């Protein structure tokens, strides 16, 4: 490979990565951001998504990534799971009272 071919490949990768917005954990919905990342990587032939993710993370999202162990940093599904916040679970017991839209029994 000629040095200029390598430089072109690096420039192309940098351009490709700019298609993926930076993710700080707050500005974008994580699901939408992950979909865009996966789409850009698929269209550009990037198969090792775990190598791209940390390059586009900032602030709190990067801190979450940094807390992963080395094995998890090499597993896109583990990175993805760490970035997706747990869904709030609503648990209602039969004895709990819940007033929806001000409706009452009676």
Q: In this predicted model, what pLDDT tens digit does every residue of 27-76 receive, in sequence order?
A: 568 889 999 999 999 998 889 999 999 999 999 999 999 999 999 999 99
Task: Tell me the C-alpha to C-alpha distance, in Å, between residue 23 and each of 77, 82, 92, 93, 103.
Answer: 17, 14, 35, 38, 41
> What is the rounded distance in angstroms from the CA atom of residue 4 to the CA atom of residue 9?
9
101 pLDDT above the threshold of 60: no
pLDDT at 5: 44
Confidence band (pLDDT; 50, 70, 90) for 26? Answer: confident
Cβ distance 64 to 90 under 8 Å? no
> Could you tell me if 54 and 64 are in contact, meaning their C-beta atoms sit under 8 angstroms apart?
no
Mean pLDDT of the chain, nearest integer: 77
What DSSP state is assigned to residue 27? Answer: S
Query: Is the whole model's pTM more than 0.85, yes or no?
Result: no
């Amino acid at each position: 490979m000629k040095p200029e071919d390598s430089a072109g490949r690096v420039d192309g990768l940098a351009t490709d990565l700019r298609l993926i917005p930076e993710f700080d954990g707050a500005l974008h919905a994580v699901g939408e951001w992950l979909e865009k990342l996966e789409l850009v990587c698929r269209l550009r032939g990037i198969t090792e998504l775990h190598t791209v993710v940390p390059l586009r993370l900032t602030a709190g999202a990067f801190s979450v990534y940094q807390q992963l162990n080395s094995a998890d940093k090499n597993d896109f599904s583990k990175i993805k799971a760490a970035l997706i916040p747990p869904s709030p679970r609503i648990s209602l017991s039969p004895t709990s009272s819940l007033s929806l839209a001000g409706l009452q029994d009676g």
